[in-house]
Amino acid sequence: MTDNVGRCARCGAENAPKISGWVGFSADLKARVLSEVCAACWEAWKATQLMALNEYRLNLGREDHRAILEDLGAEFLGLKSPETNADNDELSLNHLQQQWKPVDEDG
Ligand SMILES: [Zn+2]
């Protein structure tokens, strides 16, 4: 048992701090996120997730919408190979990042 990630799947940091907060993914993905993603990258995903929820009008009460969000999360966090995303053009992270304009951070 360690408090660090061996090597973060997203940013590649060695021995980075682990995620400490709640991870709202299904069990399999959650286990991978907790063991392979550092805390800083998780924070980045949480901000991106909000964007995704707005951009795609995702409803977390719907199982299919949660699956979309997990899909984006897995891609964002480097837990998924790009090829597996080829069938899902419209709902890609690239699309999302192109659409998104940063908002003022004084809120
Ligand atoms: Zn990282």
Ligand 1 centroid to 37 CA: how many Å?
5
Among the ranges given (12-16, 68-72, 81-85), the one the predictor scored with the smallest mean pLDDT: 81-85
| Residue 74 pLDDT class (50, 70, 90 cuts) | very high
**Is residue 85 predicted with pLDDT exceeding 90?**
no
Ligand 1 centroid to 48 CA: how many Å?
14
CA 57 vs CA 28, 32, 34, 103: distances in Å:
25, 26, 26, 18
Domains of the chain in sequence order? 4-99 (1.10.3880.10)
Percent of the chain past pLDDT 90, that is, above it, reads 62
DSSP 8-state symbol, 7:
E
Tokens (6 digits) for 106: 């004084």
Ligand 1 centroid to 41 CA: how many Å?
4
Task: Give this prediction's pTM.
Answer: 0.76
Ligand 1 centroid to 56 CA: how many Å?
25
Ligand 1 centroid to 33 CA: how many Å?
10
- Measure CA 77 to chain center: 5
Ligand 1 centroid to 10 CA: how many Å?
5
Ligand 1 centroid to 54 CA: how many Å?
24
Ligand 1 centroid to 106 CA: how many Å?
25
How far apart are alpha carbons 83 and 65 in whole angstroms? 21
Tokens (6 digits) for 38: 């550092």
Helix/strand/coil percentages in the chain, nearest 5: 50, 10, 40
